[in-house]
Amino acid sequence: MISRFEHSPWSFWAEGSTDEHDAQRAYQATLKREHPSWRIGDDCVISELASVHPAQFSLGDRSYIAASAYVTDRIVIGSDCSVNPFCVVRGDVSMGDAVRIGAHTSILGFNHSMEPGTEVFRQPLVTSGISIGDDVWIGSHVVILDGVTVGSHAVIGAGAVVTKNVASGAVVVGNPARFVRWRVPPTSAGEADSPLGDEAAAFAERARSQVHDVLDRSWDAGRQLYTDRPGIPVSVRAQCDAIELSMLLTGAPPPNVTASGQREMLRGWQDPQTGLVASIDGHGRQSTSALFENGDVAYHIECVGYALDLLGSAFPHSLRVVTEGSAEELARRLNNLPWARNAWGAGHVVDAIGTAVHWSRRRGDVVPDGFLETLFGWLTTHSDARTGMWGDPTPDDGLLQPVNGFYRASRGTFAQFGVPIQHPDAVVDTVLRHAHESRFFSPAAQNACNVLDVAHPLWLTRATGYRSEEVRELATRLLRDALARWTDGSGIGFRASPGSVNGQPDANPGLQGTEMWLSTIWYLADLIDVSPALGYRPRGIHRPEPGAHF
Protein backbone atom coordinates (compact mmCIF):
# COMPACT_ATOMS: atom_id res chain seq x y z
CA MET A 1 0.00 0.00 0.00
CA ILE A 2 1.38 3.41 -1.02
CA SER A 3 1.52 5.90 1.82
CA ARG A 4 -0.29 9.21 1.33
CA PHE A 5 2.96 10.93 2.24
CA GLU A 6 4.58 9.82 -1.03
CA HIS A 7 2.44 12.38 -2.87
CA SER A 8 1.81 14.74 0.08
CA PRO A 9 5.11 14.89 1.98
CA TRP A 10 4.65 18.31 3.57
CA SER A 11 3.21 16.85 6.79
CA PHE A 12 5.35 13.71 6.85
CA TRP A 13 7.56 14.50 9.85
CA ALA A 14 4.61 15.84 11.89
CA GLU A 15 2.08 13.11 11.07
CA GLY A 16 4.01 10.09 9.81
CA SER A 17 4.52 7.01 11.98
CA THR A 18 7.79 6.02 13.60
CA ASP A 19 8.17 3.16 11.11
CA GLU A 20 7.65 5.56 8.21
CA HIS A 21 10.21 7.97 9.65
CA ASP A 22 12.75 5.16 10.06
CA ALA A 23 12.14 3.95 6.50
CA GLN A 24 12.71 7.45 5.09
CA ARG A 25 15.93 7.89 7.07
CA ALA A 26 17.16 4.51 5.83
CA TYR A 27 16.33 5.44 2.23
CA GLN A 28 18.23 8.73 2.48
CA ALA A 29 21.19 6.92 4.06
CA THR A 30 21.23 4.55 1.09
CA LEU A 31 21.17 7.46 -1.36
CA LYS A 32 24.13 9.09 0.43
CA ARG A 33 26.13 5.86 0.36
CA GLU A 34 25.45 5.43 -3.35
CA HIS A 35 26.20 9.12 -4.08
CA PRO A 36 28.86 10.39 -1.62
CA SER A 37 28.91 13.88 -3.18
CA TRP A 38 25.19 14.46 -2.63
CA ARG A 39 24.10 16.75 0.17
CA ILE A 40 20.71 16.08 1.79
CA GLY A 41 19.79 18.42 4.64
CA ASP A 42 17.88 17.81 7.85
CA ASP A 43 14.16 16.91 7.91
CA CYS A 44 14.00 16.38 4.15
CA VAL A 45 11.69 13.95 2.37
CA ILE A 46 12.53 12.19 -0.89
CA SER A 47 9.77 9.91 -2.06
CA GLU A 48 10.91 6.44 -3.05
CA LEU A 49 8.46 6.79 -5.94
CA ALA A 50 10.35 9.79 -7.35
CA SER A 51 13.04 9.38 -10.02
CA VAL A 52 15.99 11.27 -8.52
CA HIS A 53 19.23 10.67 -10.44
CA PRO A 54 21.29 13.89 -10.66
CA ALA A 55 25.04 13.79 -11.15
CA GLN A 56 25.32 16.67 -8.67
CA PHE A 57 22.68 17.23 -6.02
CA SER A 58 22.11 19.41 -2.98
CA LEU A 59 18.82 19.50 -1.06
CA GLY A 60 18.45 22.05 1.74
CA ASP A 61 16.86 21.51 5.14
CA ARG A 62 13.12 20.75 5.27
CA SER A 63 12.80 20.45 1.50
CA TYR A 64 10.98 17.60 -0.20
CA ILE A 65 10.60 15.80 -3.50
CA ALA A 66 7.23 14.11 -3.96
CA ALA A 67 6.25 10.95 -5.83
CA SER A 68 6.57 10.84 -9.63
CA ALA A 69 8.92 13.83 -9.75
CA TYR A 70 11.81 13.47 -12.21
CA VAL A 71 15.08 15.13 -11.12
CA THR A 72 18.35 14.74 -13.05
CA ASP A 73 21.69 16.35 -14.00
CA ARG A 74 23.03 19.19 -11.77
CA ILE A 75 20.49 20.38 -9.22
CA VAL A 76 20.89 22.71 -6.24
CA ILE A 77 17.76 23.19 -4.10
CA GLY A 78 17.74 25.42 -1.02
CA SER A 79 15.89 25.05 2.28
CA ASP A 80 12.09 24.86 2.66
CA CYS A 81 11.55 24.06 -1.00
CA SER A 82 8.92 21.78 -2.54
CA VAL A 83 9.10 19.71 -5.72
CA ASN A 84 5.56 18.45 -5.95
CA PRO A 85 4.15 15.37 -7.75
CA PHE A 86 4.93 14.95 -11.46
CA CYS A 87 7.41 17.86 -11.55
CA VAL A 88 10.38 17.65 -13.92
CA VAL A 89 13.59 19.42 -12.85
CA ARG A 90 16.47 18.71 -15.23
CA GLY A 91 19.68 20.22 -16.51
CA ASP A 92 21.66 22.86 -14.63
CA VAL A 93 19.16 24.29 -12.12
CA SER A 94 19.76 26.20 -8.89
CA MET A 95 17.07 27.38 -6.47
CA GLY A 96 17.30 29.54 -3.38
CA ASP A 97 15.29 29.02 -0.20
CA ALA A 98 11.48 28.75 0.06
CA VAL A 99 10.84 27.93 -3.59
CA ARG A 100 7.48 26.17 -3.95
CA ILE A 101 6.77 24.34 -7.20
CA GLY A 102 3.29 23.20 -8.16
CA ALA A 103 2.49 19.78 -9.64
CA HIS A 104 3.20 18.97 -13.32
CA THR A 105 5.70 21.82 -13.70
CA SER A 106 8.80 21.41 -15.89
CA ILE A 107 12.02 23.33 -15.18
CA LEU A 108 14.40 22.47 -18.03
CA GLY A 109 17.93 23.80 -17.69
CA PHE A 110 19.19 22.39 -21.01
CA ASN A 111 18.23 22.22 -24.67
CA HIS A 112 19.09 20.52 -27.97
CA SER A 113 20.99 22.41 -30.62
CA MET A 114 19.21 22.53 -33.97
CA GLU A 115 21.83 22.59 -36.70
CA PRO A 116 20.42 21.64 -40.12
CA GLY A 117 21.35 18.30 -41.64
CA THR A 118 21.25 16.28 -38.42
CA GLU A 119 18.19 14.84 -36.69
CA VAL A 120 17.40 16.77 -33.51
CA PHE A 121 17.74 13.68 -31.33
CA ARG A 122 21.34 13.30 -32.56
CA GLN A 123 22.21 16.92 -31.79
CA PRO A 124 24.35 17.71 -28.74
CA LEU A 125 22.74 19.11 -25.63
CA VAL A 126 23.58 22.70 -24.66
CA THR A 127 23.12 24.24 -21.24
CA SER A 128 22.84 27.83 -20.09
CA GLY A 129 21.13 26.88 -16.84
CA ILE A 130 18.22 28.19 -14.78
CA SER A 131 18.59 30.23 -11.60
CA ILE A 132 15.67 30.79 -9.20
CA GLY A 133 15.95 33.14 -6.23
CA ASP A 134 14.42 32.93 -2.73
CA ASP A 135 10.73 32.92 -1.84
CA VAL A 136 9.42 32.09 -5.31
CA TRP A 137 6.00 30.53 -5.94
CA ILE A 138 5.76 28.57 -9.20
CA GLY A 139 2.25 27.39 -10.02
CA SER A 140 1.15 24.07 -11.53
CA HIS A 141 1.78 23.20 -15.20
CA VAL A 142 4.43 25.92 -15.57
CA VAL A 143 7.30 25.48 -18.05
CA ILE A 144 10.57 27.34 -17.43
CA LEU A 145 13.08 27.12 -20.29
CA ASP A 146 16.87 27.08 -20.29
CA GLY A 147 18.72 30.35 -19.71
CA VAL A 148 16.04 31.95 -17.51
CA THR A 149 16.68 33.73 -14.21
CA VAL A 150 13.75 34.10 -11.82
CA GLY A 151 14.32 36.80 -9.20
CA SER A 152 13.50 36.44 -5.51
CA HIS A 153 9.90 36.93 -4.33
CA ALA A 154 8.49 36.38 -7.82
CA VAL A 155 5.26 34.52 -8.59
CA ILE A 156 4.71 32.52 -11.78
CA GLY A 157 1.06 31.81 -12.48
CA ALA A 158 -0.26 28.35 -13.32
CA GLY A 159 0.26 27.32 -16.92
CA ALA A 160 2.82 30.03 -17.71
CA VAL A 161 5.62 29.37 -20.21
CA VAL A 162 8.67 31.34 -19.09
CA THR A 163 11.17 32.10 -21.84
CA LYS A 164 12.71 35.32 -20.47
CA ASN A 165 14.02 36.47 -17.10
CA VAL A 166 11.51 37.31 -14.37
CA ALA A 167 12.36 40.36 -12.26
CA SER A 168 12.53 40.11 -8.48
CA GLY A 169 9.09 40.59 -6.96
CA ALA A 170 7.23 40.35 -10.29
CA VAL A 171 4.03 38.37 -10.92
CA VAL A 172 3.95 36.87 -14.43
CA VAL A 173 1.30 34.81 -16.23
CA GLY A 174 0.53 33.42 -19.68
CA ASN A 175 2.27 31.91 -22.72
CA PRO A 176 4.73 33.47 -23.17
CA ALA A 177 4.81 34.72 -19.58
CA ARG A 178 4.19 38.44 -19.23
CA PHE A 179 4.35 40.84 -16.31
CA VAL A 180 0.97 41.71 -14.70
CA ARG A 181 1.84 43.35 -11.39
CA TRP A 182 4.34 43.57 -8.56
CA ARG A 183 4.11 41.27 -5.58
CA VAL A 184 7.06 43.13 -4.04
CA PRO A 185 7.52 46.52 -5.73
CA PRO A 186 11.14 47.37 -6.57
CA THR A 187 12.89 50.23 -4.84
CA SER A 188 13.56 53.41 -6.74
CA ALA A 189 17.10 52.18 -7.29
CA GLY A 190 15.87 48.84 -8.58
CA GLU A 191 15.14 47.51 -12.01
CA ALA A 192 11.76 49.20 -12.58
CA ASP A 193 11.73 52.79 -13.85
CA SER A 194 15.51 52.92 -13.52
CA PRO A 195 17.39 54.92 -16.16
CA LEU A 196 20.43 52.73 -15.57
CA GLY A 197 18.25 49.66 -15.99
CA ASP A 198 17.09 51.08 -19.32
CA GLU A 199 20.70 51.69 -20.31
CA ALA A 200 21.60 48.12 -19.36
CA ALA A 201 18.71 46.72 -21.40
CA ALA A 202 19.71 48.80 -24.44
CA PHE A 203 23.32 47.71 -24.09
CA ALA A 204 22.39 44.03 -23.91
CA GLU A 205 20.11 44.27 -26.92
CA ARG A 206 22.89 45.96 -28.87
CA ALA A 207 25.33 43.21 -27.91
CA ARG A 208 22.87 40.43 -28.80
CA SER A 209 22.12 41.94 -32.19
CA GLN A 210 25.81 42.27 -33.04
CA VAL A 211 27.39 39.20 -31.45
CA HIS A 212 27.66 37.36 -34.77
CA ASP A 213 29.46 40.36 -36.25
CA VAL A 214 31.86 40.29 -33.30
CA LEU A 215 32.50 36.58 -33.78
CA ASP A 216 32.90 36.84 -37.56
CA ARG A 217 35.44 39.66 -37.10
CA SER A 218 37.66 37.30 -35.09
CA TRP A 219 37.21 34.23 -37.32
CA ASP A 220 40.35 33.05 -39.13
CA ALA A 221 38.80 31.23 -42.09
CA GLY A 222 42.13 29.87 -43.28
CA ARG A 223 42.88 28.11 -40.03
CA GLN A 224 39.24 27.50 -39.10
CA LEU A 225 39.89 28.92 -35.64
CA TYR A 226 39.13 32.07 -33.67
CA THR A 227 41.65 34.74 -32.85
CA ASP A 228 41.04 37.29 -30.13
CA ARG A 229 40.91 40.11 -32.70
CA PRO A 230 42.10 40.63 -36.27
CA GLY A 231 45.83 40.68 -36.81
CA ILE A 232 46.98 38.51 -33.91
CA PRO A 233 47.58 34.73 -33.75
CA VAL A 234 44.87 32.19 -33.05
CA SER A 235 44.78 30.78 -29.51
CA VAL A 236 43.09 28.21 -27.31
CA ARG A 237 41.55 30.95 -25.19
CA ALA A 238 40.03 32.73 -28.19
CA GLN A 239 38.12 29.58 -29.13
CA CYS A 240 36.78 29.32 -25.57
CA ASP A 241 35.88 33.03 -25.42
CA ALA A 242 33.94 32.64 -28.68
CA ILE A 243 31.93 29.76 -27.21
CA GLU A 244 31.27 31.67 -23.98
CA LEU A 245 30.11 34.78 -25.86
CA SER A 246 27.85 32.94 -28.26
CA MET A 247 26.26 30.79 -25.55
CA LEU A 248 25.79 33.82 -23.30
CA LEU A 249 23.99 36.00 -25.84
CA THR A 250 22.35 33.49 -28.22
CA GLY A 251 22.12 30.26 -26.22
CA ALA A 252 23.83 28.42 -29.11
CA PRO A 253 27.44 27.63 -30.07
CA PRO A 254 29.35 29.95 -32.44
CA PRO A 255 28.13 29.55 -36.02
CA ASN A 256 31.42 29.14 -37.88
CA VAL A 257 32.06 25.53 -36.79
CA THR A 258 29.52 22.86 -35.90
CA ALA A 259 28.95 22.24 -32.21
CA SER A 260 30.25 18.71 -32.59
CA GLY A 261 33.33 20.01 -34.39
CA GLN A 262 34.06 22.51 -31.63
CA ARG A 263 33.51 19.91 -28.97
CA GLU A 264 35.81 17.33 -30.54
CA MET A 265 38.52 19.91 -31.24
CA LEU A 266 38.63 21.01 -27.60
CA ARG A 267 38.59 17.43 -26.38
CA GLY A 268 41.34 16.54 -28.84
CA TRP A 269 43.59 19.26 -27.46
CA GLN A 270 43.80 17.55 -24.06
CA ASP A 271 46.98 15.54 -23.55
CA PRO A 272 45.91 12.00 -22.56
CA GLN A 273 49.05 11.58 -20.44
CA THR A 274 48.82 14.70 -18.26
CA GLY A 275 45.26 15.85 -18.86
CA LEU A 276 46.55 19.36 -19.63
CA VAL A 277 45.90 21.47 -22.72
CA ALA A 278 49.00 22.94 -24.35
CA SER A 279 49.02 26.22 -26.27
CA ILE A 280 48.74 26.41 -30.06
CA ASP A 281 50.94 28.45 -32.36
CA GLY A 282 49.85 30.99 -34.95
CA HIS A 283 49.13 28.22 -37.41
CA GLY A 284 46.94 26.27 -35.00
CA ARG A 285 49.60 23.65 -34.31
CA GLN A 286 49.67 22.48 -30.72
CA SER A 287 52.84 22.48 -28.65
CA THR A 288 54.12 19.11 -27.49
CA SER A 289 54.85 20.59 -24.06
CA ALA A 290 52.04 21.07 -21.56
CA LEU A 291 53.43 22.07 -18.17
CA PHE A 292 51.09 23.13 -15.37
CA GLU A 293 53.58 25.85 -14.41
CA ASN A 294 52.87 27.58 -17.72
CA GLY A 295 50.26 30.26 -17.04
CA ASP A 296 48.31 29.63 -20.24
CA VAL A 297 48.24 25.87 -19.67
CA ALA A 298 46.90 26.34 -16.14
CA TYR A 299 44.21 28.72 -17.43
CA HIS A 300 43.18 26.21 -20.08
CA ILE A 301 41.93 23.92 -17.29
CA GLU A 302 39.35 26.59 -16.61
CA CYS A 303 38.48 28.02 -20.01
CA VAL A 304 38.51 24.74 -21.98
CA GLY A 305 36.70 22.90 -19.19
CA TYR A 306 33.91 25.45 -19.02
CA ALA A 307 33.67 25.74 -22.82
CA LEU A 308 33.20 21.97 -23.02
CA ASP A 309 30.64 22.16 -20.22
CA LEU A 310 28.66 24.78 -22.15
CA LEU A 311 28.74 22.46 -25.18
CA GLY A 312 27.36 19.59 -23.10
CA SER A 313 30.69 17.76 -22.92
CA ALA A 314 33.73 17.34 -20.67
CA PHE A 315 37.42 16.54 -20.65
CA PRO A 316 37.99 12.99 -21.92
CA HIS A 317 41.07 12.34 -19.76
CA SER A 318 42.00 12.66 -16.10
CA LEU A 319 43.73 15.79 -14.83
CA ARG A 320 46.75 14.22 -13.21
CA VAL A 321 47.84 17.42 -11.51
CA VAL A 322 45.02 16.53 -9.12
CA THR A 323 44.37 12.80 -9.43
CA GLU A 324 48.04 11.84 -8.98
CA GLY A 325 48.83 14.50 -6.40
CA SER A 326 48.61 14.28 -2.63
CA ALA A 327 47.54 16.54 0.20
CA GLU A 328 51.16 16.85 1.32
CA GLU A 329 52.37 17.89 -2.14
CA LEU A 330 49.53 20.37 -2.41
CA ALA A 331 50.43 22.00 0.92
CA ARG A 332 54.04 22.37 -0.22
CA ARG A 333 52.94 23.89 -3.53
CA LEU A 334 50.67 26.40 -1.75
CA ASN A 335 53.41 27.37 0.67
CA ASN A 336 55.83 27.99 -2.20
CA LEU A 337 53.56 30.22 -4.27
CA PRO A 338 54.69 33.88 -4.55
CA TRP A 339 51.97 35.34 -2.35
CA ALA A 340 54.05 38.29 -1.10
CA ARG A 341 55.24 39.63 -4.46
CA ASN A 342 52.70 38.20 -6.94
CA ALA A 343 49.42 37.32 -5.24
CA TRP A 344 47.62 37.38 -8.60
CA GLY A 345 49.96 34.68 -9.95
CA ALA A 346 49.50 32.63 -6.80
CA GLY A 347 45.72 32.98 -7.04
CA HIS A 348 45.92 31.92 -10.69
CA VAL A 349 47.47 28.60 -9.62
CA VAL A 350 44.87 28.08 -6.88
CA ASP A 351 42.07 28.81 -9.36
CA ALA A 352 43.42 26.15 -11.73
CA ILE A 353 43.88 23.56 -8.96
CA GLY A 354 40.37 24.12 -7.59
CA THR A 355 38.89 23.88 -11.08
CA ALA A 356 40.88 20.70 -11.78
CA VAL A 357 39.31 19.19 -8.66
CA HIS A 358 35.88 20.28 -9.91
CA TRP A 359 36.31 18.62 -13.31
CA SER A 360 37.87 15.51 -11.75
CA ARG A 361 34.89 15.03 -9.47
CA ARG A 362 32.52 15.63 -12.37
CA ARG A 363 34.32 12.90 -14.33
CA GLY A 364 34.08 10.51 -11.40
CA ASP A 365 37.86 10.40 -10.98
CA VAL A 366 39.25 9.70 -7.55
CA VAL A 367 40.66 12.81 -5.87
CA PRO A 368 43.24 11.84 -3.22
CA ASP A 369 42.07 11.76 0.39
CA GLY A 370 42.36 15.10 2.09
CA PHE A 371 43.24 16.99 -1.11
CA LEU A 372 40.25 19.35 -1.21
CA GLU A 373 40.24 19.68 2.57
CA THR A 374 43.91 20.71 2.44
CA LEU A 375 43.17 23.31 -0.24
CA PHE A 376 40.38 24.95 1.77
CA GLY A 377 42.19 24.46 5.06
CA TRP A 378 45.31 26.22 3.79
CA LEU A 379 43.34 29.14 2.34
CA THR A 380 41.27 29.50 5.52
CA THR A 381 44.21 29.45 7.91
CA HIS A 382 46.37 31.76 5.77
CA SER A 383 43.72 34.40 5.14
CA ASP A 384 44.78 37.73 6.64
CA ALA A 385 42.03 38.83 9.03
CA ARG A 386 42.95 42.48 8.43
CA THR A 387 42.33 42.34 4.67
CA GLY A 388 40.38 39.08 4.25
CA MET A 389 42.88 38.19 1.53
CA TRP A 390 46.15 36.42 0.81
CA GLY A 391 49.35 38.26 0.04
CA ASP A 392 50.53 41.76 0.73
CA PRO A 393 50.36 45.17 -0.96
CA THR A 394 53.36 46.04 -3.09
CA PRO A 395 55.18 49.39 -3.26
CA ASP A 396 54.36 49.87 -6.94
CA ASP A 397 50.78 48.58 -7.16
CA GLY A 398 49.34 48.98 -3.67
CA LEU A 399 46.47 46.55 -3.13
CA LEU A 400 46.23 45.47 -6.78
CA GLN A 401 47.99 42.13 -6.28
CA PRO A 402 46.07 40.89 -3.21
CA VAL A 403 42.70 42.05 -4.56
CA ASN A 404 43.20 40.50 -7.99
CA GLY A 405 44.73 37.40 -6.40
CA PHE A 406 41.74 37.11 -4.08
CA TYR A 407 39.37 37.03 -7.03
CA ARG A 408 41.31 34.26 -8.76
CA ALA A 409 41.84 32.14 -5.65
CA SER A 410 38.29 32.54 -4.34
CA ARG A 411 36.68 31.98 -7.76
CA GLY A 412 38.20 28.54 -8.12
CA THR A 413 37.50 27.52 -4.52
CA PHE A 414 34.99 29.32 -2.29
CA ALA A 415 32.78 30.57 -5.14
CA GLN A 416 33.08 27.45 -7.28
CA PHE A 417 32.25 25.09 -4.41
CA GLY A 418 29.70 27.25 -2.59
CA VAL A 419 31.78 27.70 0.59
CA PRO A 420 31.45 30.96 2.59
CA ILE A 421 34.61 33.05 2.56
CA GLN A 422 36.49 34.07 5.67
CA HIS A 423 36.39 37.68 6.93
CA PRO A 424 33.81 39.05 4.44
CA ASP A 425 33.70 42.50 6.05
CA ALA A 426 37.46 42.80 5.77
CA VAL A 427 37.23 41.84 2.09
CA VAL A 428 34.72 44.64 1.50
CA ASP A 429 36.93 47.14 3.33
CA THR A 430 39.94 46.14 1.26
CA VAL A 431 38.13 46.19 -2.08
CA LEU A 432 36.53 49.58 -1.45
CA ARG A 433 39.87 51.05 -0.37
CA HIS A 434 41.52 49.67 -3.52
CA ALA A 435 38.70 50.96 -5.76
CA HIS A 436 39.51 54.53 -4.74
CA GLU A 437 42.82 54.26 -6.63
CA SER A 438 42.24 56.50 -9.64
CA ARG A 439 45.28 55.07 -11.45
CA PHE A 440 43.30 51.82 -11.80
CA PHE A 441 39.67 52.92 -11.67
CA SER A 442 39.32 56.25 -13.40
CA PRO A 443 37.34 55.70 -16.62
CA ALA A 444 40.43 55.96 -18.82
CA ALA A 445 42.53 53.64 -16.61
CA GLN A 446 40.16 50.70 -16.20
CA ASN A 447 40.66 47.25 -17.66
CA ALA A 448 38.40 44.22 -17.59
CA CYS A 449 40.56 42.28 -15.16
CA ASN A 450 40.79 45.00 -12.51
CA VAL A 451 37.08 45.84 -12.59
CA LEU A 452 35.94 42.20 -12.56
CA ASP A 453 38.30 41.51 -9.67
CA VAL A 454 36.52 44.22 -7.67
CA ALA A 455 32.97 43.43 -8.75
CA HIS A 456 33.11 39.70 -8.00
CA PRO A 457 34.34 39.91 -4.36
CA LEU A 458 31.71 42.58 -3.62
CA TRP A 459 29.05 40.35 -5.15
CA LEU A 460 30.33 37.33 -3.22
CA THR A 461 30.02 39.23 0.08
CA ARG A 462 26.78 41.08 -0.72
CA ALA A 463 24.62 39.05 1.67
CA THR A 464 26.31 40.66 4.69
CA GLY A 465 24.88 44.08 3.81
CA TYR A 466 28.12 45.60 5.07
CA ARG A 467 28.77 49.09 3.64
CA SER A 468 26.03 48.35 1.11
CA GLU A 469 25.41 51.96 0.12
CA GLU A 470 29.08 52.48 -0.71
CA VAL A 471 29.08 49.22 -2.68
CA ARG A 472 26.03 50.36 -4.66
CA GLU A 473 27.60 53.74 -5.33
CA LEU A 474 30.80 52.15 -6.65
CA ALA A 475 28.91 49.55 -8.72
CA THR A 476 26.75 52.28 -10.25
CA ARG A 477 29.77 54.34 -11.25
CA LEU A 478 31.65 51.38 -12.74
CA LEU A 479 28.54 50.13 -14.52
CA ARG A 480 27.95 53.49 -16.19
CA ASP A 481 31.56 53.44 -17.41
CA ALA A 482 31.27 49.87 -18.71
CA LEU A 483 27.97 50.35 -20.54
CA ALA A 484 29.62 53.06 -22.67
CA ARG A 485 32.42 50.81 -23.91
CA TRP A 486 30.70 48.90 -26.74
CA THR A 487 32.04 49.47 -30.28
CA ASP A 488 29.54 48.56 -32.98
CA GLY A 489 30.44 45.39 -34.83
CA SER A 490 33.56 44.81 -32.73
CA GLY A 491 32.65 44.48 -29.05
CA ILE A 492 34.77 45.81 -26.19
CA GLY A 493 38.52 46.11 -25.69
CA PHE A 494 40.16 44.57 -22.64
CA ARG A 495 41.64 47.92 -21.66
CA ALA A 496 40.09 51.38 -21.71
CA SER A 497 43.24 52.98 -23.12
CA PRO A 498 46.14 51.48 -25.07
CA GLY A 499 48.40 49.14 -23.16
CA SER A 500 49.86 45.76 -23.95
CA VAL A 501 49.40 42.10 -23.25
CA ASN A 502 52.16 39.91 -24.71
CA GLY A 503 53.29 42.90 -26.75
CA GLN A 504 49.94 43.43 -28.43
CA PRO A 505 47.71 46.50 -28.02
CA ASP A 506 44.68 45.43 -26.01
CA ALA A 507 42.46 48.51 -26.09
CA ASN A 508 41.16 47.29 -29.46
CA PRO A 509 37.93 45.31 -29.17
CA GLY A 510 38.37 41.54 -28.98
CA LEU A 511 36.75 38.36 -27.73
CA GLN A 512 38.52 38.32 -24.36
CA GLY A 513 37.62 41.90 -23.52
CA THR A 514 34.04 41.48 -24.71
CA GLU A 515 33.46 38.28 -22.75
CA MET A 516 35.04 39.61 -19.55
CA TRP A 517 33.24 42.97 -19.70
CA LEU A 518 29.85 41.32 -20.34
CA SER A 519 30.32 39.17 -17.25
CA THR A 520 31.58 42.13 -15.22
CA ILE A 521 28.59 44.20 -16.31
CA TRP A 522 26.26 41.47 -15.02
CA TYR A 523 27.93 41.46 -11.58
CA LEU A 524 27.84 45.25 -11.32
CA ALA A 525 24.20 45.33 -12.45
CA ASP A 526 23.23 42.64 -9.96
CA LEU A 527 24.82 44.60 -7.12
CA ILE A 528 22.34 47.42 -7.82
CA ASP A 529 19.36 45.18 -8.72
CA VAL A 530 19.22 45.87 -12.45
CA SER A 531 20.67 42.60 -13.79
CA PRO A 532 17.25 41.30 -15.01
CA ALA A 533 17.28 44.14 -17.55
CA LEU A 534 20.29 42.53 -19.25
CA GLY A 535 18.44 39.33 -20.11
CA TYR A 536 21.57 37.22 -19.70
CA ARG A 537 23.45 35.61 -16.82
CA PRO A 538 27.02 34.25 -16.98
CA ARG A 539 27.02 30.45 -17.18
CA GLY A 540 30.63 29.55 -18.00
CA ILE A 541 33.87 30.39 -16.27
CA HIS A 542 32.33 33.53 -14.70
CA ARG A 543 29.11 31.89 -13.55
CA PRO A 544 27.78 33.30 -10.26
CA GLU A 545 26.34 29.99 -8.99
CA PRO A 546 28.64 27.31 -7.55
CA GLY A 547 29.68 24.73 -10.11
CA ALA A 548 29.70 22.08 -7.38
CA HIS A 549 29.48 21.71 -3.62
CA PHE A 550 32.24 20.79 -1.20
The two beta strands, 106-109 and 64-65, are unpaired
Angle between helices 327-336 and 371-382 (to 10 degrees): 30
One of 35, 112, 212, 317 is an active-site residue; which one?
112
Task: Look at phi and psi of residue 342 and say left if phi exceeds 0, alpha if psi is from -120 to 50, else beta.
Answer: beta
Report the distance separating Cα 22 and Cα 279, nearest Å: 55
Report the distance separating Cα 224 and Cα 284, nearest Å: 9
- Helix (H) or strand (E) run with residue 448 in it: helix 448-460
Write the burial class of residue 498 (CB in 10 Å: 0-12 exposed, 13-18 middle, 19+ buried): exposed
Write the burial class of residue 377 (CB in 10 Å: 0-12 exposed, 13-18 middle, 19+ buried): middle
Strand partners, 83: 65, 101
Task: Look at phi and psi of residue 251 and say left if phi exceeds 0, alpha if psi is from -120 to 50, else beta.
Answer: left
User: Cα-flanking dihedrals φ and ψ of residue 251, to 5°?
Assistant: 75, 10
Within 10 angstroms of residue 124's Cβ, the number of other Cβ atoms is 17
Annotation marks residue 112 as catalytic: yes
The two beta strands, 161-162 and 143-144, are parallel
**Residues carrying an active site annotation:** 112
